[in-house]
Amino acid sequence: MTPPAAGRVVISGGTLLDQAGERAGDVAIEDGYIVEVGTGLTGGQLLDATGCVVSPGFVDLHVHLREPGKEEAETIETGSRGAALGGFTAVVAMPNTDPAQDSVAVVQFVRAQGERAGLCEVLPSGCITVGRAGERLAPFGELAAAGVRIFTDDGNGVQDAQLMRRALEYAGPLGITLAQHCETASLTKGAVMHEGSCCSRLGLPGWPALAEELMLFRDIELVRITGVPMHFLHLSTARSVALVRAAKAEGLAITAEATPHHFSLTDEELSGYDAVFKVNPPLRTPADIAAIKAGLADGTIDAIATDHAPHAPHTKEVPLDQAPSGMLGLETALGVCLAELDMSLVDIVAALSWKPAAIAGVADRHGRPIAVGEPANLTVFDRNVEWTVKPEQLASKSRNTPYVGRRLRGKVRHTVFNGIPVVVDGTATR
């Protein structure tokens, strides 16, 4: 962990929002911890929160930081900066790096790079299988001992049902969570976009909703027989939401996330063949968006995660079928959520903060109530300000945001990580 700041920081004039609801108040921070909550607090560095909400820092269960291996698209430092600007104090780094995060050495490197940047806590995930190849189990025990809590082959679904069953059984006593990228590969060969009327018109191979739902169903049944918890990444279809809702009603130990792009953009965005809109799983239909929003509103979907996936510009300026999948998300997440979701602010922040913190196994230090003695990982945001996305103003090394020119509502003003103001007045301080 980054050494906490010694100096005193006061967040003044905002509305505090956490698990206990909303109330006015100032927050004083010293040595990385909240030391006072009250009114009229002074001393040290003042962060003006007038008209803003002060909440626990956001936790993103799903980011691709590209380091090691694709530093031309993003580094842990640039990705962390984007995270801090987006109000995130912790991010789970997906393991599809090169080399993949299937060994203690790579995982420690990722964590160390995160500490060096000092902008947010970078939580390396581990692979489920060696090299994400879907053949042999990654060393869960060694990686868990090195602090890894989330394991996934994200980018690939684990195709082999027997292997997935063994992975869950083996993971059980280690107290880790396996997270699935649900995609039945035999149904998505060459797929570019959602299978439906849009792909039929555009002449592009479709990625059917069924490919996600089939693996989700299989894994829900594996959770049932093994009793080992699972997390489901970036669910994108109405039927997926229904499957998770039914499984949770039965008491199965599963959690799920959805991305802002899957509840704000449809497959019609692909009509211009712009690869910025190519993402996996693909953008789907208005009915799917409605179902995901309903799933977030009723808690079926626990967390909002960005699946932040930077790609260098030249790799996206190619025919759609040759382009890599993925879009930026960290710096636009809050603005999309507040513009799109018809939910109470506390429920939105729950899905961005303490609920994902629990899934990531960092609920001891992120997503905490705003109270004396708690670690100072906090986000201060203006819930009403409208702004237009300009790719050149993003901190990411890449520019593949699908929200170019779009009006979003809500923007982060300050972010405090471990007691340090890493974002002040919308600008990163390091």
Partner 1 sequence: MSPRHAKHLLSIDDLTADDIHHLLELTDHMVEINHRPIPKVPALRGKNVVSLFFEDSTRTRTSFDTAAKRLSADTMNFAVSSSSVNKGESLRDTIETISAMGVDAFVIRHKSSGVPGLITRWTDASIVNAGDGWHQHPTQALLDCYTIRTRLNRRDGFDGLRIAIVGDIKHSRVARSDVQAFAALGAHVTLVAPPTLLPPALHDWPVAVSHDLDSLLPDLDVLYLLRVQRERMDDALLPSMHEYSAMYGLTAARAARLAPHALVMHPGPMNRGVEIVVDPADLPGSAILDQVTNGVAVRMAVLFSLLGTGGDLRSETLS
Residues in the chain: 430
Shortest gap between Cβ of 282 and partner 1 (angstroms)? 13
Rounded CA separation 19/56 (Å): 9
Give the HSE-up count for residue 378: Cα atoms under 13 Å, Cβ half-sphere. 36
Closest CA to 121 of 426, 419, 424, 425: 419
Bridge partners (DSSP) of residue 415 are 379, 423
Which CB, 200 or 427, lies closer to partner 1? Answer: 200
For 73, phi and psi rounded to 5 degrees? Answer: -95, -35
Nearer to partner 1, 87 or 208 (CB): 208
Residues 138 and 207: their CA atoms lie apart, in Å, by 28
What DSSP character marks residue 132? G
Which one from 26, 267, 307, 382 is the annotated catalytic residue? 307
Report 171-230 residues binding partner 1 (CB under 8 A): 189, 195-197, 199-204, 206, 208
- Of 160 and 317, which has the nearer Cβ to partner 1? 317
- CA–CA dist 103, 421 (Å, integer): 33
For residue 159 the two structure tokens come to: 């195709």
Longest C-alpha distance within the chain, in Å? Answer: 63
Nearer to partner 1, 182 or 199 (CB): 199
In angstroms, give the least distance from the CB of 275 to partner 1.
9
303-304: strand order across its sheet: 150-152, 177-180, 230-232, 254-258, 303-304
Q: In terms of CB distance, is 195 or 331 closer to partner 1?
A: 195
* CA–CA gap between residue 53 and residue 16 (Å, rounded): 6
Counting residues that bind partner 1 (by CB under 8 A) gives: 22
Tell me whether residue 187 or residue 358 sits nearer to partner 1 (CB atom). 187
Provide, rounded to whole angstroms, the least separation between the CB of residue 34 and partner 1.
51
CA gap 147, 140 in Å, rounded: 10
* Residue closer to partner 1 (CB basis): 203 or 405: 203
User: Which has the closest alpha carbon to 352: 395, 407, 296, 403?
Assistant: 296
- 11-70 residues in contact with partner 1 (CB under 8 A) are none
Look-up of token digits 């996936």: 309
Show the beta-strand stretches assigned E in 96-199: 121-124, 150-152, 177-180, 193-194
As a whole number of Å, the end-to-end CA separation of the chain is 16
How far is residue 350's CA from residue 8's CA, in Å, rounded to a whole number?
Answer: 27
Closer residue to partner 1, CB minimum distance, 158 or 204: 204
How far, in Å, CA of 116 to CA of 135, rounded?
34
CB of 124 to partner 1, least distance (A): 33
Which of positions 247-286 make contact with partner 1 (CB under 8 A)?
272-274
Report residue 342 CA to chain centroid gap: 20
Shortest spacing between CB 314 and partner 1, in angstroms = 6
Q: Find the binding residues for partner 1 in span 284-343 (CB under 8 A).
A: 314, 317-322
Query: Distance between CA atoms of 163 and 149, rounded to whole angstroms?
Result: 19
In whole angstroms, what is the distance from residue 190 CA to residue 36 CA?
A: 56
Closer to partner 1 by Cβ: residue 148 or 198: 198
Q: Which alpha helices (DSSP H) does 256-303 contain, by range?
A: 286-297
Active site residue 48: no
DSSP 289: H
The site for partner 1 (CB under 8 A) is made up of 189, 195-197, 199-204, 206, 208, 272-274, 314, 317-322
**Positions marked active-site:** 307
